[in-house]
Structure 1
């Protein structure tokens, strides 16, 4: 029998990418889990494995080609018909997902899954999507509030990833006419709605408004149109969503890290023998992890639709990494449980893998707080944007040697500017000032952390 292998759903909000390299050719014999292509998404470089065993009879992916989730990579001739029948029998029954399904009478008999996966993968993904929807239902996020305004209207015929994409762009998906099989809504339909300036969610729904159309800049001189790369597109969507959603306020302070720099100089040779480079960022992350334990509201998320605050019992800190592709934010898991040396090793490892496109998509998800360190570039202060649904982010600028009056005399001290942006809906200004001062004192007098 002939089996089709398609681009699987890789990560939330990832709907397309670019084929970097093709590792097979027509006529090759492949096994399950053999890598077919390297696929660069907006977040990371991903290896796509085969879900079938047999001979490649048709290869459709090409290097440099833009492909979407569900697009066909290869057709594989499997060994026998019986093998395929056995696989079909082993597939669990698909649960009914009202939100994802359309009326039965409207489906074509031979219609395939929207995401284009083989039956086994589709069943597994559909079960996962159902669980995600069930879990999200009682605690919906702000961007979903508009969808609940009228629960009586029929569900939109679109995959979960397409619905999420529409919500990010402030598009009411119920106003879009689908062009896919059976009228299902595709990513292209959502993009077309944006370009035409229709289907926007009104300000009463989510507070989001349509952006005005651009003028014709060529009227005033020569222009060049450049396609936004994947990471830049992702960043643009993410910061726009955060800016519209979060009530941003930024608090500024400075920490005297003279003792920290002395500590780093003293401990660096010992850690270097272990292959670890000790940095100020690792120390800051350790102090922030302790601060988040002392101030749990800064490690939370707000759910205004249900008038709830979600307190997370884990502390996963994201760190902004400047790459050739743009800004990416890998996440250090359980930062509060790691030593400064472990954090330094993890930071170096994840930063390197992020810059070399070896970071995995799930390693850039689940952050509860973020640190953006621009000290290596310069600047005195900046106002970082909170990465929604987080509620706070710490900006770190360049250390400056300044005279400070200490013990009755002026002394040269290493002063580190810090900027804390936070969501005023859940954090008051006084709390932000206390949190940031706690971080400063934790850097200046590390034993302070042991008192909490």
Structure 2
């Protein structure tokens, strides 16, 4: 899955790549700094543009009066990163603005090949995942959450209320994540290396990775702390349906503060999801497994949910990551506090 992203990587680089030629670099902006009247944008947007080497005169603003937002700059960068490489006339601005296009061998020398064009969603996801991987020092913390009673209660409720929004495990996880984010605010932040600040958000917009026939997308459910479990479940079903029907708008995939990716319906016991930049953490869910444990001297079977928490080590240390996932697991075991 990917970030967003991005939750699963679309392609892997060679283990020991040769140095890419200078002409293969893809620069975000080739026009240098702004000339003439400044483009309409706020201070935070300008800081991001400087960091990424973006000329704001080249960016189309989506806000009122053509004002350029942070999301506009990020979209501009993603688009440029997916374009074919062109020779660079001058060195790019330092930081996030250059993605090296590594040369590939002629695979047809070894046997038949088929070249399949990447669609727009796939190209965008690939660029986002690459940018996140080279920018963020990733660490992944794994745990097992005992959901025996929670899953039994969930199934019982769904069966007794067929006309109500279906409460899925993902919807429950969203509510549990919000509680953990409130207890550990650094997980609800972004790293601003230019200003040397951690931008901690006071809102809780949770992105959910959705696997569609056209690729991975990450729609966002906003203000999850202000919604009960039924509201979250209903909105999750609605926005996932629109994602699969290709009816999402750009704003449906913007503003997330934390991402969840659920591979439980497919299989696997653990994985390492890639953080959805500029967020600092992502939670992966795998298929539920049954464990035999010793409980009060007796062997008991418990239903366990594997959790994989990847995080940005610049913003989060290992001890806090362990505390976060323990808090999350505890919320699922003592689930009544979520409702």
Superposition TM-score, scaled by structure 2 size: 0.79
Give yes or no for contact 1:247–1:425 (8 Å, CA) kept in 2: yes
Question: Is the 2:45–2:73 contact (alpha carbons within 8 Å) kept by the matching residues of 1?
Answer: no
Distance across 1 between alignment mates of 2:223 and 2:125: 25
Query: Whose relative contact order is higher, 1 or 2, with alpha carbons under 8 Å and at least 6 apart?
Result: 2
Structure 1 Cα separation of the partners of residues 73 and 230 of structure 2: 42
Q: Structure 1's 406 and 167: CA in aligned 2 closer, same or farther, altered over 3 A?
A: same
- Aligned equivalent of 1:342: 231
- Checking the alignment, whether the CA contact within 8 Å between 1:271 and 1:278 is kept in structure 2 is no
- State the distance in 2 between where 1:425 and 1:168 align: 23
Q: C-alpha displacement at 1:372, in angstroms?
A: 0.3
Q: Name the residue aligned to 2:255.
A: 366
CA drift of 1:134 comes to 3.6
Find the counterpart in structure 2 of residue 229 from structure 1. Answer: 119
> For 2:58, what is the secondary structure of its paired residue?
coil
Per-residue displacement from partner, 1:6-38 (whole Å, max 9, x unpaired)?
A: xxxxxxxxxxxxxxxxxxxxxxxxxxxxxxxxx
Contact 2:205 2:256 in 1 (8 A): yes
State the alpha-carbon separation in 2 of the partners of residues 370 and 259 from structure 1.
25
**SS of residue matched to 1:228:** coil
Cα distance, 1:277 vs. partner?
Answer: 1.2
| Partner Cα distance (2:89, 2:301) in 1 | 59
2: distance between equivalents of 1:444 and 1:387? 27
Deviation per residue, 1:132-186 (Å, 9 max, x gap)? x44423xx34x843649xxxxxx686335897567558xxxxxxxxxxxxxxxxx
Match of 1:305, SS state, is coil
How far has the Cα of 1:328 moved from its partner?
0.6
The offset of 1:422, in angstroms, is 0.3
2:40 to 130, 139, 161: 130
Matched, 1:445 2:334: yes
Check conservation: 2:53, 2:97, Cα contact below 8 A. Answer: no
Query: CA 1:222–1:205 in 2, change beyond 3 Å: closer, same or farther?
Result: same
Residues 53 and 92 in structure 2, CA contact (< 8 A), matched pair in contact too: no
Q: Which structure 1 residue ranges, 5 or more long, are not aligned?
A: 1-97, 105-125, 149-154, 170-186
State how far apart, in whole Å, the 1-side matches of 2:301 and 2:142 are. 21
1:158 paired with 2:58, answer yes
Partner SS state of residue 322, structure 1: strand
State how 1:34-433 maps to structure 2 within 5 Å.
102=35, 130-131=40-41, 133-137=42-46, 140-141=47-48, 144-145=50-51, 147=53, 158-159=58-59, 167-168=77-78, 191=83, 194-196=85-87, 201=92, 205-206=95-96, 210-274=100-164, 276-433=165-322
SS at match of 1:346: helix
Relative to 1, partners in 2 of residues 1:272 and 1:448: Cα closer, same or farther, differing over 3 Å?
Answer: closer
Mapped to 1, the partners of 2:56 and 2:305 lie a distance apart of: 51
1:365 to 1:226, Cα distance in 2 relative to 1, 3 A:
same
Asked if structure 2 preserves the Cα contact closer than 8 Å seen for 1:197 and 1:210, the reply is no
Matched position secondary structure for 2:251: helix
Of stretches 358-367 and 424-433 in structure 1, the one that deviates more from structure 2 is 358-367
Unaligned segments of structure 2, at least 5 residues: 1-31, 62-71
Distance in 2 between residues matched to 1:256 and 1:156, nearest whole Å: 50
TM-score if structure 1 supplies the norm length?
Answer: 0.60
Aligned length: 298
Maintained 8 Å contact 1:260/1:280: no
